[in-house]
A and B are shown apart, each in its own frame.
Chain A
């Protein structure tokens, strides 16, 4: 998984991105009947940093902080 911070006008990366090796996002919970099923992502911003809930390569559920 790669996380980057980009300028909204130029879309260029403003700082070098970060790669989380072996980490995967969880599957969306809504399926049939939801037009936006794919938009559910376990991420939040706190004090300018990204919080992310994902599965690591050992199949453990981990809360990460990136930024």
Chain B
């Protein structure tokens, strides 16, 4: 077991860190306030290879392993968790799904553009009445010769407005639960496909989250990914990888909270001493740092298992539940260490607290992660 980064991993980290500080940090508070999508920055990230990191070069990607991806994703999220989720969704959900389940024609047509950053992708599973219980979805696709007609409403779609194509899960057969779910890729601009307004969110405000509407939307049967009825399996398989991504997002936020706390505690003076000399602050910093390291180790273990082609469902769930808990705790403690200043927008740490919360909710809530861990251990379905 080797805990040190390779030369390449160090260079990936340096590149991601420098990019984030140069191009994401300067207006991050402004984008958060205005809920502005970091379009220009995402384009640059695509050119550098950040949007399809784990995809082979042949399909437009950078062909890096999952640990290398996590190293870069942590750096982006430590500066801007909105850009971080856009990157995570495109990499771990969209590109990974197409790479694993799409046929070569679909890869040629879509994966190349999505992995190279020419296009941005979205992943659409949730509906207003079906979140954790995906098999309760109402959106349908009806076969019509060599086409499908999609009808329904999806929600909470990250990058739903800015994306060029979306992978959408709908029922192709009703009454058989999740076995009737199928996955399609639908291009922006397809007649009958539209999006709702940008949701006004607590955190990750730079990412554009919206509803998607499908009204008699006709897509070619060539856009069906895998077989009819395989959608649920595809979604769950992809979400395992997605959890590594969101766990890493949480890690980035948690680390930022730690870094900012250390910096501030060493500067801020009260009673004639820096507050870092007080036991109460030291105790917080020590716990924050330990949990950041534990999160990273859990994440990298899951990533390594994934790279080795071994099962990693339980490990990814553990990483996500722990890292997201750490993000929330560290961000809250960071604001506490900053005191009144932490509560003010201009210090940029209240944003960490708002951004952290979503990591306990999306791509499987913490409660669902606990369920996955327990079921794997207890052997029940």
| A and B interact | no
Q: Mark B residues whose CB is within 8 Å of A.
A: none
